[in-house]
Amino acid sequence: MKARKEILTDCTLCYHSCGIRVAVEDGKAVAVKGLESHPINKGELCPKGESILDTIYHPQRIKYPMKKVNGKFERISWETALDEISRKLSDLKEEFGPQMMGMFSGSIGVENMEIAGLTQRFKTAFGSPNFFFRGERMLPDAHQNPPDHIR
Ligand code: SF4
């Protein structure tokens, strides 16, 4: 018999962060419904949220580092990918200075707090002043004064 449980969580496909119920069988999500008690979506889901399992389990989803070699992508290890990226970033920093890098973290809603924080820390450790996010058009001085929760 399969072990089944239900997890109450949020859809993270956009900044609305609608509440969802996810049925999990043997460690795999098998069904998703809107969470009736959630104040934003009240049990409803948009078509993107309804098809979230297709996104999670799509056969072409990229799950590991890929490198283009002679026009074709091939799988490489995380260690190799991180080594190559850090070497290239170091070379670029040496040649052009740390400001050559700009970090973009997408939207900074509740669905993206952790990534925004990590992005900001990575940018600072690298020494670049350049940080961008989707809301910056609404916040003209966002580069110099990002919201407190992502400093
Ligand atoms: S269900 Fe739709 S509107 Fe709600 S968070 Fe997911 S993608 Fe956004």
Supply 143's token pair: 């580069």
Instruction: Pick the closest to residue 100 from 110, 115, 108, 88 (CA basis).
Output: 88
State if pTM tops 0.85. no
Q: Give the Cα separation of 49 and 60 in Å (integer).
A: 19
**Which residues have C-beta within 8 Å of that of residue 52, sequence separation ≥ 6?**
11, 13, 20, 32
Ligand 1 centre to CA of 62 (Å) is 22
Is 112 a pocket residue for ligand 1 (Cβ < 6 Å)?
no
Q: Report the candidate in 8, 3, 12 with the shortest Cα–Cα distance to residue 107.
A: 12
* Lowest-pLDDT range of 27-36, 80-89, 128-137: 128-137
Local structure of 103: helix, strand or coil: strand
Q: Which two tokens stand for residue 73?
A: 């992508």
- What is the DSSP track for 53-88? HHHHH-TT---S-EEEETTEEEE--HHHHHHHHHHH
Residue 135 has pLDDT above 80, yes or no: no
| Residue 42 CB less than 6 A away from ligand 1 | no
Domains annotated on the chain, with CATH: 4-57 (3.30.200.210), 62-96 (no CATH), 97-151 (no CATH)
Distance 100 CA to ligand 1 centre (A): 35
- Residue owning the nearest CA to atom 1 of ligand 1: 49
**pLDDT tier, 118 (very low <50, low <70, confident <90, very high otherwise):** confident
Look at 134 and 79; give whichever has higher pLDDT: 79
Distance between CA 12 and CA 19 in Å, rounded?
Answer: 9
State the average pLDDT over residues 96-100.
Answer: 96
Is residue 82's pLDDT more than 90? yes
80 CA to centre of ligand 1 in angstroms: 35
Q: Closest ligand 1 atom, CA of 14?
A: 8
Task: Find residue 31's DSSP bridge partners.
Answer: 23
Average pLDDT, the chain: 86
Phi–psi pair at 130, nearest 5 degrees: -95, 105
Rounded distance from Cα 103 to ligand 1 centre (Å): 25
